Amino acid sequence: MTRRRRRLTVLLLCALGLGTATALTLTAFQDNLVFFQSPSDIAANPPPPARAFRLGGLVEEGSVTRDSTPEGRPRIGFRVTDGQSTVAVQYSGVLPDLFREGQGVVTLGQMGPDGVFLAREVLARHDENYMPPEVAEALRRTGHWNPASGAAPPPGGRPTAGGRS
Amino acid sequence: MIPELGHFALAMALAFCIAQTALPLWGAQRRDARLMAAAVPLANAAMLSVLVAFICLATSYAVNDTSVVNVVQNSHSAKPMIYKITGTWGNHEGSMVLWVLVLTLCGAAVAGFGRDLPSVLQARVLGVLGAIAVGFLLFVLFTSNPFDRVWPPAPDGQGLNPLLQDFGLAVHPPLLYLGYVGTAVTFAFAVAALIEGRVDAAWGAWVRPWALASWGFLTCGIALGSWWAYYELGWGGYWFWDPVENSSLLPWLASTALLHSAVVVEKRGALKVWTVFLALMAFALSMMGTFLVRSGVLNSVHTFAADPARGVFILIMLGAFVGGAFALFAWRAPAMAPQGVFAPVSREGALVLNNLLLSCITAVVLVGTLYPLFLDLIAGRMISVGPPFFNMATAPLALPLIAAMALGPLMPWKRADLWPVMQRLWWVALVALAGFIIALVLTGQRALPALGFAAGLWLIFGAAADIIDRVRRAENPWARARALPRAAWGAAIAHAGMGVTALGVAGMALSTETLVALNPGQSTSFAGYEWRLDGVRDSPGPNFTARRADVSVLVDGAVVFTMTPAKRTFPIARTTTTEAAIRTNGMRDLYLVLGEEREGGAVLRIHHNPLAPWIWLGALTMALGAATSLSDRRVRVAAPSRRAVAAPA
Amino acid sequence: MSGVLNRRRLLLAAPLGVAAAAGVGFWAMLSGLQDGSFNPRGVPSALLGRPPPDFALPPVEGSTLPGFASADLRGLERPSLVNFWASWCVPCIIEHPQLMALRAEGVPIFGISYKDRAPDALQFLSRRGDPFLRLAADPPGRVAIDWGVYGVPESYILDRQGIIRWRYAGPITADIMNEDVKPLLRRHA
């Protein structure tokens, strides 16, 4: 085998590898990109039924219900709103500890046949007392913190981890 | 007083590191032996200064010195002593000090063990390491000083992130840093080679142990992180393709490729430019990971408190080091002539295939991790890329990689024939095929897990075949096995470890899960056991309160063991964590999570995870392989100087 | 031969190009993080470019300032600011001087007292100064849900037609004031 042929083989192999990787990435992207949708987005453009996406908004006050699926799995129902539209959500799993009515929530799942969002994952967001980390830090540093005006700010600005089922 | 001493020590370290950068690099350029010789004592002095600073910080934590802002923010007097100490690096500032400490330790190691290294190369490597340390020390001193005081002292600390108050996470960051910093050493070697315009076998022999060590630590670090996510997050999974997890996986993939291509440089003098590129890439990816995790551009479950101002600083460093190195690469690498001829089917060819596939996997993971960020930036669309994408895009690349992993070590250098190699592996293929068929039948024809089992068996027995093949023809196989180079053993052990992990992953693909709401006294049956909720009670801890469920697990009406999953509430940090109860027998894990309480009862999630522990067992085996290889005398320091003479310039 | 060498040169310079592109992107993300235009954790407001949802809120009990309804936000002489706040919220204290400064420049600020007790709210204003043109009370936080408020403080800039042009969750610091609020108020004036 000549040097030229050898080089050609290696180049072909590389092209093949890179081509495969690109093709794989593109096909996987096509089916598995998870878009973020708000309830109004869904009202404006109902997503196809089998497509997973993330739904975010506020948990509507008084909308949380607890029951069981026909198979006996405990289930939680609530409505997610962004002020314009509302989407009903059902979730069978362990809720994150910071899940509260009136608070932000992000859920991952897909639309069911009856227009109910079936969530696989629920992540709770933000504390009610919104406090960016720089501000919390600045407060601690300057000693302006007055415990009488409320509990101490949560350390850091980390999102609150939630449960997946 | 102690914090001031620590602060002063950091400043001293900065001065030493500036000198460690300037003098040897200048000296190497002018071939001035005295200037170059200054590198060794300077590296040692820098290491000692940072060590002093680190001890000062740890002391402040141990005595809970509440006049130090960092301690106030991250510690609390009620914390157990061990977590006070580990809290030193459980926060951004402290972890950066640990990072610099490890970096200077590596510098001192290069200074100490590198006496056999050509003095110009050693001077340049130490100079580059010094420059990296300067960057990080400036970063610590100007944006994240851990020794800032607060006056008057706070009455008590504000607690550590409770998720971090855990053994796994106390050990995980230091291991990962050892790995990251290891890539800095190979990076320094690569930059030194580029400055010199020459890569030879001695260079390959020097890069390999560092790449091995860094790879071993990264493997341990990633495995520990995954184990932590498994038992602490309570989601029942071990790998979520979270951007933070990915940013530690990327340098691992690059350093795995580097490890293999460095062998080719050392033994055959080929793939030089490519190896230099991989060394730069491994460090670039570690730095990028640091940037993504610390700057707050990522949205993840385990980031440090993020701060864009720090991000700016890290990005500037990233630009200076990585940009500078790639510019140097573009300038100098074209002059390095390609060398070392080999046939496509040969040991080199197999290693090239390994590198090609690993690079493709790295690229896919990189794209999947960064794409959402760039899409948000350019189009303003919020998307996320989840596990299905990564599984689908990487598995087809991983399978040929695994297939080649057993073939490669059996191939001779330069030129090989596939047929004899296949002949020596036919029984391994038979075992894998049998495993595939058995798994297919037992799992109800689920092809992917079965393929995983086959891959695991192929790797484990393939590694065995490699060793057997080496000793088979000897008169006394046992003596021959003992006399085999440790590097050969190391490779076989690491490959087998990968196989064990593959078996674990395949097992986890068969895991089952159920969710039940039980009242006290009620029970449910799952995974061949009966699960009875006895009750839920309060159970206070040292600095948290907890709700704990008592669950009895029964077989045929008799209690075999009890499990107690809990939810902890940390009043000071105002967070809650889930404590899954895990019961393992080595072949499967029973995994129990306490959910919300309902009308006197509780929601429980039960997982049955076959072979779960094997995932981490396999990773440990891989790291053991790296350690075995490192203990090989020829991999260590003595050989390079001899080779340096012999190797053509 | 020189063609081969040039191609090789180009290939070896490619990593530099890719790294530079990624660096520029990261830089843009960071600056976006700082001015709020890039936020990986945030949820974009559904209200941008639209009028606020319909509501009518009563005044805070004991205050001389009148409450207001969505109709009151339309057809103003200058762009206005709607601010959700509470006396129990510490970042609101940080934001307060900036609101006072805006008021001094004549920007109409509509305050909505979020989940607060009237005496506490009034005491906060009497101690620190009152920046508001009108002040409405939303003790159950219902209107805040319709607006999609995450927490307090949170502010919205409305143009003269009453269309929401900007929202910001968190305190308006001096930097935010100079980099975002003032330019926006000028643009929509």
> Does residue B21 form part of some domain?
yes
> Does residue B642 form part of some domain?
no
Quote the tokens at residue C70: 């969505």
Residue among A74, A155, A157 minimizing CB distance to B517: A74
pLDDT in tens, C159-168: 888 888 888 8
Which of chain C's residues have a Cβ under 8 Å away from the Cβ of B334? 5, 8-9, 12
pLDDT on residue B640: 43
> Does residue A99 form part of some domain?
yes
Strand partners, B383: A35
> Does residue A19 form part of some domain?
no
Which of A12, A34, A69 is best to mutate for the B interface (most B CBs within 10 A)? A34
Which of B79, B240, B376, B574 is best to mutate for the A interface (most A CBs within 10 A)? B574
Which of chain C's residues have a Cβ under 8 Å away from the Cβ of A56? 43
Q: Which domain holds residue B548?
A: 512-612
Is the Cβ of C7 closer than 8 Å to some Cβ of chain B? no
> Does residue A17 form part of some domain?
no
Q: A17 to chain B, minimum CA–CA distance in Å? A: 7
> Does residue A92 form part of some domain?
yes
Which of chain A's residues have a Cβ under 8 Å away from the Cβ of B390? 28
- Who has greater pLDDT, A124 or C158? C158
> Does residue A25 form part of some domain?
no
Q: Does the pLDDT value for residue B160 go beyond 60?
A: no
Residue among A72, A158, A164 minimizing CB distance to B303: A158
The pairing of strands A86-91 and A163-164 is unpaired
**Contact of B569 with B545, CB cutoff 8 Å:** yes
CA dihedral B514, B515, B518, B522 (to 10 degrees): -10
Q: Domain boundary residue among B145, B160, B175?
A: B160
Q: Does the pLDDT value for residue C14 go beyond 50?
A: yes
Give the H or E element holding residue B625.
helix B612-630
The pTM score is: 0.82
pLDDT in tens, B212-231: 999 999 999 999 989 988 88
Q: B341 to chain C, minimum CA–CA distance in Å? A: 18
> Does residue B376 form part of some domain?
no
Band of residue C77 on the pLDDT scale cut at 50, 70, 90: confident
Domain count, chain B: 2
Q: Which domain holds residue A128?
A: 33-165
Supply the CATH number for residue A81's domain: 2.40.50.140
Q: Domain boundary residue among B160, B192, B208?
A: B160
Cα–Cα distance, B62 to B179 (Å, whole number) = 27
Residue among A158, A132, A127, A152 at smallest CA distance from A140: A152
pLDDT on residue B636: 54
**Contact of B503 with B452, CB cutoff 8 Å:** yes
Which of chain B's residues have a Cβ under 8 Å away from the Cβ of C176? none
- Listed in sequence order, the DSSP H helices in chain A are 3-32, 39-44, 133-142
> Does residue B116 form part of some domain?
yes
Is the Cβ of C189 closer than 8 Å to some Cβ of chain B? no
Look at A37-41, B78-82, B337-341, B448-452 and tell me which has the smallest mean pLDDT. B337-341
- Who has greater pLDDT, A98 or B516? B516
**A–B interface: beta-carbon pairs under 8 A:** 164
Cα–Cα distance, B454 to B451 (Å, whole number) = 5
- List, as ranges, residues 53-82 from A with C-beta within 8 Å of B: 54, 66, 68, 72-74
Query: How high does pLDDT run on average in chain C?
Result: 82
Band of residue B159 on the pLDDT scale cut at 50, 70, 90: low
pLDDT on residue C161: 84
Phi and psi at residue B77, to the nearest 5°? -65, -25
> Does residue B538 form part of some domain?
yes
> Does residue B553 form part of some domain?
yes
> Does residue A21 form part of some domain?
no
- Who has greater pLDDT, B467 or B423? B467
Is the Cβ of B397 closer than 8 Å to some Cβ of chain A? yes
> Does residue A86 form part of some domain?
yes
Cβ separation C29–B373 shorter than 8 A: yes
Peptide bond into B477 cis (omega under 30): no
> Does residue A9 form part of some domain?
no
**Per-residue burial over B433-445, b = 16 or more CB atoms within 10 Å of its CB, e = otherwise:** eebbeebbeebee
Which of A22, A30, A32, A99 is best to mutate for the B interface (most B CBs within 10 A)? A32
pLDDT in tens, B179-206: 998 999 999 999 999 998 888 888 888 8
Cα–Cα distance, A107 to A89 (Å, whole number) = 9
